[in-house]
Amino acid sequence: MRFLITNDDGIEAPGLAALVEAAKGLGRIVVVAPAGPQSGCSHSVTTQGPLRVETTDRGFAVHGTPADCVRLALHTICPDVDWVLAGINAGGNLGADVYHSGTVAAVREGVLHGKPGIAVSQYRKRDLGWHWDRAASWTGGQLPTLLARPARSGRYWNVNLPNLRPEDPDPEALVCPLDPAPLPLEFRAEGDLWHYCGEYHTRRRKPGCDVNVCFSGKVSVTPIDLY
Ligand code: MN
């Protein structure tokens, strides 16, 4: 199996290395990732100027967005890949997050070109740190199952890892739908500036949907259909 791996946190991000670690041994990997952080850029693409590509020891670094990386990769660098994997994002991409996430957009761009994909994100609570080794291990546990499923046209998988304490046992995974609730609307005024201050950790959690599953300490595995 051949994988294109990308992210939206940039080619230097530890989450990208964790995803490479999770997928290695399952096939051939080509990394084409943004040269710098692009979180929250959604499905933005560069069409009004050139895209500079550097070859680094981590892979191809594109001075552009995650969707640019996938477009360029599928057109030039590795058009023969079977799957597009994105992540592991530093932060959850649950519910309404999928619409502004660059990580999820990368996978969605692949799906538009007929390549199935998996977006992986690590939810983080404020008082718990990153544990990329565990994130890699949990992702490695999910990949064979998802890769073995017949790829339905137009469908991709959105996986979110829970943020557990180091002493907690490995989480179970649950296939669940995307939470339909919007993120909370909270803005703080400062003169004529409005600062978004919605509380991610206390957002609405519909029982059985991905936000609640991940916040409750399980891996949420959500199929999303483009059409
Ligand atoms: Mn990100």
Cβ neighbour number for residue 41 with a 10 Å cutoff: 20
d(CA 132, CA 16): 10
* Full pLDDT tens readout for the chain, 227 residues: 999 999 999 999 999 999 999 999 999 999 999 999 999 999 999 999 999 999 999 999 999 999 999 999 999 999 999 999 999 999 999 999 999 999 999 999 999 999 999 999 999 998 898 999 999 999 999 999 999 998 889 999 999 999 999 999 999 999 999 999 999 999 999 999 999 999 999 999 999 999 999 999 999 999 999 99
| Residue type, position 213, single letter | V
Looking up tokens 């959850």 gives: 92
> Which DSSP letter does residue 183 get?
P
Distance 41 CA to ligand 1 centre (A): 9
The pLDDT assigned to 127 comes to 85
3-class SS of residue 72? helix
**What angle do helix axes 132-148 and 14-23 make, rounded to 10 degrees?**
40
- 39, 53, 89, 97, 189 from 17: Cα distances, Å: 17, 19, 11, 23, 39
SS3 110: helix
Spacing, Cα 16 to ligand 1 middle (Å): 10
State the CB neighbour count (10 A cutoff) for residue 218. Answer: 19
Closest residue by Cα to residue 59 from 115, 113, 17: 17
C-alpha 220 to ligand 1 mean position (Å): 18
Q: How far is it, in rounded angstroms, from Cα 53 to Cα 159?
A: 28
Q: Is the dihedral of CA 118, 91, 98, 31 positive or negative?
A: negative
| Residue 33 alpha carbon to ligand 1 centre in Å | 12
The confidence score (pLDDT) of residue 150 equals 81
Helix, strand, coil fractions of the chain, as percent rounded to 5? 30, 25, 45
Cα(38) to centroid of ligand 1, in Å? 7
Q: How far is the CA of 8 from the centre of ligand 1 (A)?
A: 5
Task: For residue 198, give the nearest of 182, 209, 213 by alpha carbon.
Answer: 182
Task: Please report, as a single letter, which amino acid is at residue 127.
Answer: D
Give pLDDT, residue 160: 98
